[in-house]
Structure 1
Amino acid sequence: MSSPILYGFSKSDLEQVVRKVITEIRKTDIIQDSPVNSEEDKLTQKEAAKFLGISVTSLISWKKKGKVPYYQIGRSIFFSKSELLKLAQKNPGLVQSSRR
C-alpha cells in the first residue's frame, strides 16, 4: 500500500502557477480569435518559406525584423497563408528581391 505524498506550497508559489496557467489559456484564446482559424490556413516555417519562394533562413530573419506576421504558442511557430498572400500582394518587391 502506498503512502500519500503531501507537498507544501507558499502563497507566492501558488500565485505564480495560477499566473502561468492564465497566461497559457490567454495564448490559446488569442489563437482561436486570430485569422488563422482553419488548418488549411496554417503554415509551418518550412511551408511558409516555400510558399513565399524564399529560404527558411530568410523567413526567420524577416520574422525577427517584423516583416512577416506569425503566431507562436510555446515553441510552435506558424504563419497564416492568407496573411502572407496579402503581404506579398502589397509588397511584391519584398518577395521578388529575395528570389534574385
Structure 2
Amino acid sequence: MSNVLFYTHNKEDLKRVIRMVVEEIRKTEMISNTPISPEEDRLTQKEAAKFLGISVTTLISWKKKGLISYFQVGRPVFFSKTEFLEAARKNPGLIKPSRK
C-alpha cells in the first residue's frame, strides 16, 4: 500500500514554522554562557523590555512587584542583562526572542 500525502500547508505556514525555529535557536544562543562586558550589561527600561519581549508597562509592573531586580543611579532605572540571563538559564521560557 502506498502512502498518501496531503499538502495542507501554504507558503505562509512554512514561513511561520521557520520563524518559530529561528526564534528558538536565538533563545538558546541568548542564554548561553557568553560573558557580557560591563557596557553591555546595563539596560534601560526600554532595552530591558525589548530584551525580555514584553512591554515597558509589564516591566514596570514586574519591578514594582519585586519579580525582577533593578538598580537606580540618580533618577534613571537600569536592569542587568547578566541577571536576566541567569534567570533565563533557570527558566528558559522567561525570555521571548525579539522580532526583527
Alpha-carbon deviation of 1:85? 1.2
Instruction: Kindly provide the amino acid, as one letter, of the partner of residue 65 in structure 1.
Output: K
Q: Which has the higher contact order (CA 8 A, sep 6+)?
A: 2
Contact 2:88/2:94 (CA < 8 Å) preserved in 1? Answer: yes
Q: Which has the larger radius of gyration?
A: 1
Alpha-carbon deviation of 1:86? 1.2
RMSD: 2.2
Length-normalised TM-score, structure 2 = 0.53
Alpha-carbon deviation of 1:94? 4.4
Alpha-carbon deviation of 1:61? 0.3
Alpha-carbon deviation of 1:49? 0.5
Identity %: 69
Q: Which runs of 5+ in 1 are unaligned?
A: 1-35
Alpha-carbon deviation of 1:89? 2.6
Question: Is the partner of 1:54 in helix, strand or coil?
Answer: coil
More helix by percentage: 1
Length-normalised TM-score, structure 1 = 0.53
